[in-house]
C-alpha cells in the first residue's frame, strides 16, 4: 500500500511551504514534491496602480530581500521612461545591491544553514537554530550578526531605511551617499572581511566531512542561468543573460531580458502556487535550470576582483570544474560575499557616489518595460505594460526562487530516495530533506522564520486517503 509523508511547514526558509514524500508499496520513495502553499497575488493587484509606485509596492513582496524588487522595478521604470540614468544613479544602485547580497547571504549561512553543519543534522531540533548556535559558538554567531548588520546598515545609509527604502525610482535614485556614510563603510569593511574569511575557511574544513551531502543534496546535471558582464565576468545588476550546461559549455549567450519570453517558458502545477519556469528550447520539464550563487559562479569566466577570483579557482577545483551539487550553494554564497565586499570597497572610493546628479527626469515614453537584476537567490524579471498615463495594465514577475522550482523538487526527491526507507523515519532524515531546500535559500514570500522548537507535521497517508500515522511537534 502506497503512503505519503508530509513535512508541513518546512522550517528555516523565508515563507511557508510543505514537502510531500510519496512511498511505494515496498516503502521506498517514489516521488517527492515541494509545495508552495501561499498565494500572494502581486501580479494581479498591481494592475491599475501608477507605474511610479511599483518600486515601493513590489518591494513589499519580501522583508528580507526588498532591495531586489526595488531595483528591478526601478530598472523596468527606466525602460518605460526611455532614459539612461546618470552614472551616479547606476553606481549607487549597484552599491545597494551588493549590500543586499551581503546581508542576505550572511543571514542564509549563519542563521539558517550553519546550525545543520555545526550542531549536526540529528541534533535536537529545539536547539538546531541560531539560538543553539549562539550557545555553541557565541563568537561565530556574533560575527555573523555583525556581518549581516553591515549590509543592512549600508542599505540604510543609502535609502534611510534598512527594510523597504523608498529610494530607487524610475530614472535613478533619490539622493547620493553622504560623506559620513562613505566613511562609516570604509571603517567597517575590514571587520566584515575578517568575518567572511572565518566562515569561508570553516566551511572549507567542514566540506571534507560532508561528502555524502555533496553527492546527494541536489547533485544532478542541469542548465545554469544568470547575468554576466561584457567580458564574461560575474555580474549582479547589468550585463546580459547567459545559459551554460553542466560541462561548462555556453548554451546561449548575449540574451536580452527584453526577449525573455523567447527563451523562458512558465508552466504551472495544480499542487503549488509557485510557477515552474523552464528553458523553452528544451521544453518542460527537460529545460530545468538553476539560478543564484551556484549558477552565477558557474556561468561567469571570472569574478573580477582578486580575492574572490582566488577563492573561485579553489571552489572550481573542489567541485571538479562545474559545481553541479546544490550543496555548493552555501560555498558559493560565501565567495559572493567576499566579492561583494571587494566591489563595495571600490565603489566607496568612486566620486560619483556622492554626486548630486542621481536621477533622470522624463514622462511615459514606452508602454512596456522589462527589467532584470540578480537578487541574492538568482535572476529576477519584472515585466510591466502601462497605458498612456503610466497606469499598470499587466504585470508578470519571474521570481528568483521560481527559476529554481524544478531544481528544488528534483533535489527533494534525490535526498528522500537516499535517506528514507520505510515508514519509520528519523527526525534527522527529515531535516536532511528540508536542508535540501535550504541550499537554495528560497524566498517564498517574506521574512517568516521558525525560532526555537521547529513546528513540523508529518503524515503517512494510505492510498485510500486514510491517515495511518501522524506526528506533530512545535
Q: Is 449 annotated as a binding residue?
A: yes
Q: Is 446 annotated as a binding residue?
A: yes
Q: Is 65 annotated as a binding residue?
A: yes
Q: Give the chain as a 3 state SS string.
A: CCEEEEECCCCCCECCEEEEEEECCCCEEEEEEEEECCCCCHHHHCCCCEHHHHHHHHHCCCCCCHHHHHHHHHHHHHHHHCCCCCHHHHHHHHHHHHHHHHHHHHHHHHHHHHHHHHHCCCCCCCCCCHHHHHHHCHHHHHHHHHHHHHHHHHHHHHHCCCCCCCCEECCEECCCCCHHHHHHHHHHHHHHHHHHHHHHHHHHHHHCCCHHHHHHCCECCCEEEEEECCCCEECCCCCEEEEECCCCCEEEEEECHHHHHHHEEEECCCCCCCCEEEEHHHCCCCCCEECCHHHHHHHCCECCCHHHHHHHHHHHHHHCCCCCEHHHHHHHHHHHHHHHHHHHHHHCCCHHHHCCCCECCCCCCCCEEEEEEEECCEEEEEEEEECCCCEEEEEEEECHHHHCHHHHHHHHHHHHHHHCECCCCCHHHHHHHHHHHHCCCCECCCCCCCCCCCCEEEEEECCCCCEEEEEEEC
Q: Is 43 annotated as a binding residue?
A: yes
Residues contributing to the annotated binding site for Ni(2+): 65, 443
Residues contributing to the annotated binding site for Mg(2+): 43, 62, 397, 449
Residues contributing to the annotated binding site: 43, 62, 65, 397, 443, 446, 449
Residues contributing to the annotated binding site for Fe cation: 65, 446
Amino acid at each position: 500500500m502506497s503512503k505519503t509523508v508530509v513535512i508541513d511547514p518546512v522550517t528555516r526558509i523565508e515563507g511557508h511551504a510543505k514537502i510531500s514524500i510519496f512511498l511505494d508499496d515496498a516503502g521506498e520513495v517514489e516521488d517527492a514534491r515541494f509545495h508552495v502553499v501561499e498565494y500572494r497575488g502581486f501580479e494581479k493587484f498591481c494592475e491599475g496602480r501608477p507605474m511610479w509606485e511599483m518600486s515601493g509596492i513590489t518591494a513589499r513582496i519580501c522583508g528580507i530581500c526588498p532591495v531586489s524588487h526595488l531595483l528591478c522595478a526601478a530598472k523596468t521604470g527606466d525602460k518605460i521612461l526611455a532614459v539612461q540614468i546618470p552614472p551616479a544613479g547606476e553606481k549607487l544602485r549597484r552599491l545597494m545591491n551588493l549590500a543586499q547580497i551581503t546581508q542576505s547571504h550572511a543571514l542564509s549561512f549563519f542563521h539558517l544553514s550553519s546550525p545543520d553543519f555545526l550542531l549536526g543534522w540529528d541534533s535536537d531540533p529545539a536547539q538546531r537554530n541560531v539560538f543553539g548556535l549562539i550557545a555553541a559558538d557565541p563568537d561565530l554567531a556574533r560575527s555573523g550578526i555583525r556581518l549581516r548588520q553591515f549590509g543592512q546598515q549600508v542599505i540604510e545609509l543609502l535609502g534611510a531605511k534598512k527594510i523597504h527604502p523608498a529610494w530607487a525610482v524610475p530614472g535613478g535614485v533619490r539622493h547620493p551617499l553622504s560623506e559620513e556614510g562613505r566613511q562609516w563603510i570604509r571603517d567597517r569593511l575590514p571587520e566584515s572581511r575578517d568575518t567572511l574569511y572565518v566562515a569561508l575557511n570553516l566551511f572549507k574544513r567542514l566540506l571534507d566531512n560532508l561528502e555524502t551531502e555533496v553527492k546527494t543534496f541536489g547533485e544532478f546535471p542541469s542548465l545554469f542561468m544568470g547575468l554576466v558582464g561584457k567580458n564574461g565576468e560575474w555580474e549582479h545588476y547589468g550585463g546580459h543573460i547567459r545559459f551554460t550546461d553542466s560541462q561548462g559549455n555556453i548554451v546561449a549567450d548575449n540574451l536580452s531580458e527584453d526577449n525573455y519570453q523567447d527563451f523562458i517558458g512558465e508552466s504551472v502545477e495544480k499542487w503549488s502556487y509557485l510557477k515552474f519556469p523552464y528553458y523553452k528550447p528544451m521544453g518542460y520539464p527537460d529545460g530545468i535550470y538553476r539560478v543564484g550563487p551556484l549558477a552565477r559562479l558557474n556561468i561567469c569566466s571570472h569574478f573580477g576582483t582578486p580575492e574572490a577570483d582566488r577563492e573561485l579557482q579553489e571552489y572550481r577545483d573542489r567541485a571538479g570544474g562545474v559545481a553541479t551539487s546544490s550543496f555548493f550553494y552555501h560555498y558559493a554564497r560565501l565567495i559572493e560575499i567576499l566579492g561583494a565586499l571587494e566591489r563595495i570597497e571600490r565603489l566607496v572610493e568612486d566620486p560619483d557616489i556622492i554626486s548630486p546628479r542621481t536621477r533622470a527626469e522624463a514622462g511615459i515614453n514606452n508602454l512596456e518595460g522589462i527589467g532584470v537584476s540578480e537578487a541574492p537567490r538568482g535572476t529576477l524579471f519584472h515585466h510591466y505594460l502601462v497605458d498612456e498615463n503610466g497606469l499598470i495594465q499587466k504585470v508578470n514577475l519571474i521570481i528568483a526562487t521560481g527559476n529554481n522550482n524544478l531544481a528544488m523538487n528534483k533535489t527533494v526527491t534525490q535526498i528522500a530516495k537516499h535517506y528514507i526507507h520505510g515508514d519509520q523515519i528519523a527526525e534527522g532524515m527529515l531535516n536532511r530533506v528540508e536542508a535540501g531546500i535550504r541550499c537554495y535559500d528560497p524566498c517564498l514570500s517574506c521574512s517568516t522564520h521558525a525560532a526555537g522548537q521547529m513546528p513540523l507535521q508529518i503524515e503517512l497517508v494510505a492510498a485510500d486517503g486514510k491517515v495511518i500515522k501522524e506526528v506533530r511537534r512545535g
